[in-house]
Amino acid sequence: MGVLVRVGATAEGVLVYLGSLAQLTGRALLLLFVSPLKRSRSLQRAIHQAMAAGVSAVPIVSLIAYFIGLIMALQGAYELKKLGAMQMVPALVAISVTRELGPLITAIVVIGRSGSAFAAEIGTMRVTEELDALSTMALDPIAFLVAPKFIAMAIMVPCLAVWADLMGVSGGCTFGILGGGFSAAGYFVNTRNNLVLSDVMTGVVKSFVFGIIITAVGCHEGFSTGAGAEEVGRSTTSAVVVSILMVILVDVVFTALFYLSGGA
Amino acid sequence: MREAVPGAPIISARQLRVRYGDREILHGLDFDIHHGETVVILGGSGSGKSTLLRTIVGLEKPHSGEILVKGTNLGRASKREIADIRKKIGLSFQGGALIGSLTVGENIALPLLEHSALAPSTVEVMVRIKLEQVGLSGFENFNPAALSGGMRKRAAFARALALDPEMLFFDEPSAGLDPIMAAGIDNLILNLKSAYSITMVIVTHELASAFLVADRIMVVDKGHIIANEPPQTLKNSIHPRVRQFLDRVPDSAADDNRVDHLRLYVEGTR
């Protein structure tokens, strides 16, 4: 009995949490269209966020995606070599990176850099009454702080993912040239021949959703910060943990959907 | 002392009750604040005075009863109506609550840039004027974290003044400041009072500054208003709690004796 009650309570908690995420996202979306604030200033804030969350993440995303591509090539070649199918390495790298690893690695890096930062920023503002100060200045915190983050992330995370795809393929290419007997041009041609547009597009679609989730979770955790510095730390931690979990779950769902809809 | 201006009050509360969860903080308050008045809300820690201030500016919703600001019932007003009222008020928080990611100048410019059609160059001039008003000229480009507590409060005043509000609210303006700085803040409030016909509500527990600046003092104790009168008559109040507050008498020694120190000690060591 006790177990059932606990399962029920946990399920309810999860649903309430998801509900509040949806509510926050919905409100931010609504405030994008009927913004009580000046559009030009909101756009400025969105650009500022896009720089911080997107452009500044390019070096680390590049580095990690490049090595992941290289690792995929090495691991793939280890097995493919036995079959004498080394010419399959570019396809293996390209498909695994564009469909899965590029978007996923990007999401994880963005969670670590920006999801945590959103929670810490908003959480600190809550603790220091800055959120109340914004409210009393008739600056809705959701319109002022959250909506620009949603715009920035919805655009920048897919862009970063596409960039990660390119870097991953470059990593594979490095192996192809050094250990696989490919020329650089040959490797890229081979990659192109083995990719279809939908491989990249599924990654982009997933990244878009990841961006929304990371922003919603980070901001929600920030707003639900209690009193005190310790609470800011707790919010930041749970923003990262919950975001990673949700990104993986959504990844499973979307990948399954893409698979079922005809292997697109 | 200024006489209360006849006509409708700018802020009025009727049977105002506010709760945090199940705990009721304000137990049915009734009061009016008129245009141009300077009202000090006096009370001890945990008396509910800050909650009262937060309710007047719409940060807390009344559980029952009503609070009207410029004729708008904050308990039932739409977000837009509340936003319209908030553009006419300035609130200076206890800790300043300046936005940490912006400089002092940008903090003060923020309401101007968001809510007025002024050109950036005009805003810059306005910011300089407001900072001068609070004695912080030249601190535009400082980060709030680089200012002392008193300076941060002054900067918060400047931000509260930015939109030339009709109503100004101060939460503990002189708490935690040295006597000289606190006197400076009192002076600032007196200057504002003589220069503009702003309605001011000041929450404090500093007796000296309350008697200096107030037209009327409301004493809040345990969520009730126990006195609401001009400072001159309040001085002669015979209400026991008011007297205790004014004469700085600690809660009765009898309360202390009721605590069983031996039992506390024994339980503590377990």
3-state secondary structure chain B: CCCCCCCCCCEEEEEEEEEECCEEEEEEEEEEECCCCEEEEEECCCCCHHHHHHHHCCCCCCCEEEEEECCEECCCCCHHHHHHHHCCEEEEECCECCCCCCCHHHHHHHHHHHHCCCCHHHHHHHHHHHHHHCCCCCCCCCCHHHCCHHHHHHHHHHHHHCCCCCEEEEECCCCCCCHHHHHHHHHHHHHHHHHCCCEEEEEECCHHHHHHHCCEEEEEECCEEEEEECHHHHHCCCCHHHHHHHCCCCCCHHHHHHCCHHHHHHHHHC
Query: What average pLDDT does this structure show over B74-96?
Result: 88
Residues 6 or more apart in contact with residue A62 via CB below 8 angstroms: A163, A164, A167
Given an 8 Å threshold on Cβ–Cβ distance, is A132 in contact with B95?
no
Q: Using an 8 Å Cβ cutoff, are A66 and A98 in contact?
A: no
Name the residue range of residue A179's domain.
Answer: 2-260
Residue B61 is part of a domain; what is its CATH number? 3.40.50.300
Q: Considering only alpha carbons, which residue of chain A is nearest residue B91?
A: A136
Read off the pLDDT of each residue in A244-259 and give the average, rounded to a whole number: 94
Query: Mind listing the pLDDT tens digit for each residue in B47-72?
Result: 888 889 999 998 888 999 899 998 88
Measured between beta carbons, the chain B residues lying within 8 angstroms of A120 are: none
Whether residue B245 lies inside any domain: the answer is yes
Over 60: is that where the pLDDT of B46 sits?
yes
Tell me how far CA of residue B97 lies from CA of A40, B79, B123, B147, B192, in angstroms.
25, 22, 21, 12, 21
A129 at interface of B, judged by CB pairs closer than 8 A: yes
pLDDT band at B264 (very low <50, low <70, confident <90, very high): low
Task: Judge: B59–A136 Cβ closer than 8 Å, yes or no.
Answer: yes
Q: Which of B93, B102, B147, B157 is best to mutate for the A interface (most A CBs within 10 A)?
A: B93
The nearest CA of chain B is from the CA of A145 a distance in Å of 12
Give the tens place of pLDDT for each residue, A15-64: 999 999 999 999 999 988 887 788 888 899 999 999 999 999 999 999 99
- Does some domain include residue B143? no
With respect to residue B33, please indicate whether it lies within any of the assigned structural domains: yes
Judge whether B227 lies within some domain. Answer: yes
- CA-angle at A208, arms to A47 and A58, nearest 5°: 55
Average pLDDT of the segment spanning A197-214: 94
Determine, yes or no, domain membership for B112. no
pLDDT band at B267 (very low <50, low <70, confident <90, very high): low
Has residue B45 been placed in a domain? yes
Q: Which domain holds residue B254?
A: 11-88+165-269
B118 shares contact with chain A (CB less than 8 Å): no
Q: What is the pLDDT of residues A153-192, one digit of tens each?
A: 999 999 999 999 999 999 999 999 998 888 999 999 999 9
Most B CBs within 10 A among A37, A137, A232, hence the mutation to make, goes to: A137
A12 — contact with chain B (CB < 8 Å)?
no
Angle B120-133/B104-115 helices, nearest 10 degrees?
A: 130
Distance of residue A127 Cα from the nearest chain B Cα, in angstroms: 10
pLDDT at B254 over 50: no
Does residue B182 lie within any of the structural domains? yes
How does residue B255 score in pLDDT terms, banded at 50, 70 and 90?
Answer: low
Split into its structural domains, chain A has a count of 1
The complex scores an ipTM of: 0.84
Count Cα atoms within 13 angstroms, Cβ side, for A153. 32
Three-class SS string for B48-78?
Answer: CHHHHHHHHCCCCCCCEEEEEECCEECCCCC
Quickly state the pLDDT bin for B169 (edges 50, 70, 90).
Answer: very high
Mean pLDDT of B111-132: 90
Nearest to B83 among A36, A128, A133 (CB): A36
> Count of A–B CB contacts within 8 Å?
60
Does A122 contact chain B (CB < 8 Å)? no
How close, in Å, is residue A258 to chain B by CA atoms?
42
- Residue B65 in contact with residue B14, Cβ under 8 Å? yes
Q: Which two tokens stand for residue B25?
A: 């903080």
Question: Which carries the bigger pLDDT value, residue A224 or residue B205?
Answer: A224
Give the Cβ contact number of residue B187 at 10 Å: 13
| Contact residues, chain B, for A124 at CB < 8 Å | 100
The count of domains in chain B is 1
Confidence class of residue A228 from pLDDT cuts 50, 70 and 90?
confident
Domain assignment present for residue B69? The answer is yes
